[in-house]
A and B are shown apart, each in its own frame.
Chain A
Amino acid sequence: MAVIEIKQVAKNFGAFTALHSVDLTIADQEFMVLLGASGCGKTTLLRIIAGLETPTAGEVWIGGRRVDHLPPRERGIAMVFQNYAVFPHLTVFENIAFGLRMKKMDQAEVTRRVTRTAELMHIEQLLKRYSGELSGGQRQRVAVARALAMEPDVILMDEPLSNLDALLRLEMRAELKGVLAESNTTTIYVTHDQVEAMSLADRISVMNGGRIVQAANPVEVYRNPAARFVGSFIGNPPMNFLTATPVGPGKWQVAGQTYDGPHAQAAEFAVRPEDLHPADHGLPAEVRVVEPLGPHTLVTTTVAGQPFRAVLESTLMPRPGDVIHLAPVPDRIRWFDPATQTALC
């Protein structure tokens, strides 16, 4: 049982604030992904949980125990590093056994655990090799096996797939999800790759500028971004934003069209590219670029002078220069406060 509680954790590096008072609770056996661009503080937060970095303020609790003053080895965690950190002077077997040896576990148990996790990660034939003789993907497997062999309460992963090529990343992603689901551990996984985040997470914490902007399940984060940043960061292509002018209580005019919206002073209209379809009446869009992608066609347009993208059926082939009308699915329209950049209901 390992619930992780992060209470008002802040971290400064000199004058630079990497984390502004972050609060986050991660449930037992939950797969939490920390997602954000580089420099958003996600790795710093992970390293604080690991004990590799000391928070400037705040508390970290793991399994009901306050751990922020404890060294990493007393926190009941295991970690997978971005560059694997597979020890070059040890064989694969001894790498996986490293943590168990530190605990002075008896040889029979070490062998049992190493064999089991090696089989799980399909590297049982590599146990006698050194890391210099392994490919990047194999090293990654060793790093994961080393973490799993500890049978930890918590596994921390720092961009574990970012050094693998695209195809291998896809394969490892699916495998990691399966393996970690069976391991009954709480997982915190740092990535800048939104697809990885969406596919792996029970919950995603989207981070920006040292703050958690939204922590919710992937569908919720995708459909109902709590902030403009989340909409623009998640989704490929990202969410479209258009300026809106109020024309009555709860009525907003966007590029000549009127939509029902929030009762507010000012608002920005937003819709995802795939929530649009061509119609007789809709947002007038001047086509700039047409990219047929196979299953669908990505159309880049301008609406009232603002960039606007739509994902349309592949049978539709507008040409650059055409003006098409795009109608948003009504219940998919979102509104943001231009001042605070947060979602309006």
Chain B
Amino acid sequence: MPRLLPYLLLLPATAFLCLFFLYPFVQVAHDSVMRGGVYTLENFTRMAGHWKFSTAFWNTMLLAAVVVPVQLAMALTMASIVTKLQRGRSSILYIFAIPLGISDLAAGLIWLSVFEQSGFLNSLLVGLGVVDRPILLLGYQNTWVIFIAIALAEVWRATAIMMVILVAGMGLIPKEYGEAADVFGASRWQKFRRVTLPMLKPSLQTALILRVILAFEVFAVVVALGGTQLPVLMSETYHWQFAMQERGVAAAYAMVILAVSVAFTILILRLLHVPKGARV
């Protein structure tokens, strides 16, 4: 009996996951290849044939390509600084973690209040006399401003999660390795590049996979700041599901997001692979 006990204890959670995650997932996968009662790839051709698909796809990729590296660089810098602090370390971690407690829609709305026509940024510009009257920043004429606003909101919102993971990872590296690097002539940058970074690989893997997947699922921030001006994969999924009532095409979008997420997860695992003998 004691041998079965762990499985028994895990059973409710496993059943829950099967019921509420695995089952809907199978159903979505099924829906994506089903149309009018027959198995077909028409959902995918309809999706790909629509003029918004490639825009949404590339917008999503571009956002991830801009946001994730910026977040990685910032999180690494912040984690390095926080790790070195003698005191006040946990207070600073808490402060940095505040945006994590805010929903992504709320985060989008906060940045909307900065960028909208009657927002803080316009008030500031008018107050300083840079412009005569408030300008329309988030309009369809300049989607690049929308893009920047979304990128800013995403960086502001989700850098802390990476930092927290990296701080934990840096804490796991024994101090002697850094000291050995110091003694054997490494400069601060060389120490970071040649010792800290390689030994941080397992944490980097976790942080990157988490962030990249979330970046492909970006939705509420995009909707709050751009409405339909800047389509992304997730907003298109929503659009097909609820506005167009095309369940099959929405499911096809969901499968594309899944495929991209899996591909990048595998890529990250490969790139940051640590050979067995080389682990700490």
Residue positions of A touching B, CB distance < 8 A: 50-52, 71-73, 77-79, 81-83, 85, 87-90, 98-99, 101-103, 129-133, 146, 150
Contacts and interface: CB of A to CB of B under 8 A. Distances in A.
B278 interface: yes
Residue in A72, A89, A129 with the greatest tally of chain B CB atoms within 10 Å: A89
Contact of A73 (B182, B277, B279, B280): B182
B227 interface: no
B199 A73 contact: no
B183 A87 contact: no
Contacts of A101: 194
Given A85-B176, A89-B199, A132 B183 contact: no
Given A85-B180, A89-B278, 18 more contacts: A50-B183, A71-B182, A72-B182, A73-B184, A73-B185, A78-B184, A79-B179, A79-B183, A82-B176, A85-B174, A85-B176, A87-B180, A87-B195, A88-B279, A89-B198, A98-B184, A102-B186, A102-B187
B277 A129 contact: yes
B274 interface: yes
Given A85-B176, A85-B177, A89-B198, A103 B279 contact: no
20 contacts: A52-B182, A73-B182, A73-B187, A79-B180, A79-B183, A81-B179, A87-B180, A88-B199, A88-B278, A89-B274, A90-B198, A98-B181, A98-B184, A99-B185, A102-B186, A102-B190, A130-B277, A132-B276, A133-B277, A146-B184
Contacts of A132: 276-279
B176 A81 contact: yes
A146 B186 CA distance: 14
Contact of A130 (B176, B179, B181, B278): B278
A102 B181 CA distance: 9
A81 B181 CA distance: 12
Interface in B181-212: 181-187, 190, 194-195, 198-199, 201
Interface of B: 174, 176-177, 179-187, 190, 194-195, 198-199, 201, 274-280
Given A130-B275, A132-B278, A85 B186 contact: no
A65 B56 CA distance: 65
A67 to B, nearest CB: 13
Contacts of B181: 98
B84 to A, nearest CB: 15
Contacts, number: 75
Contacts of A102: 184-187, 190
A19 B85 CA distance: 25
Contact of A150 (B174, B184, B274, B278): B184
Contacts of A131: 277-278
Counting from the closest, the 5 A-B pairs by CB-CB distance are: A130-B277, A99-B184, A102-B185, A85-B180, A132-B277
Contact of B177 (A52, A71, A79, A87): A87
Given A89-B278, A130-B278, A77 B190 contact: no
Nearest to B200: A89
A81 B199 contact: no
Contacts of B182: 51-52, 71-73
Contacts of B194: 98, 101
A296 B61 CA distance: 81
Nearest to B280: A88
B277 to A, nearest CB: 4
Contact of B185 (A103, A130, A133): A103
B183 A77 contact: yes
B121 to A, nearest CB: 45
Contacts of B176: 81-83, 85
A238 to B, nearest CB: 33
Nearest to B176: A85
A83 B187 CA distance: 22
B135 to A, nearest CB: 51
A130 B174 CA distance: 17
Contacts of A82: 176
A320 B53 CA distance: 97
A319 B182 CA distance: 59
Nearest to A75: B183
Nearest to B178: A85
B184 to A, nearest CB: 4
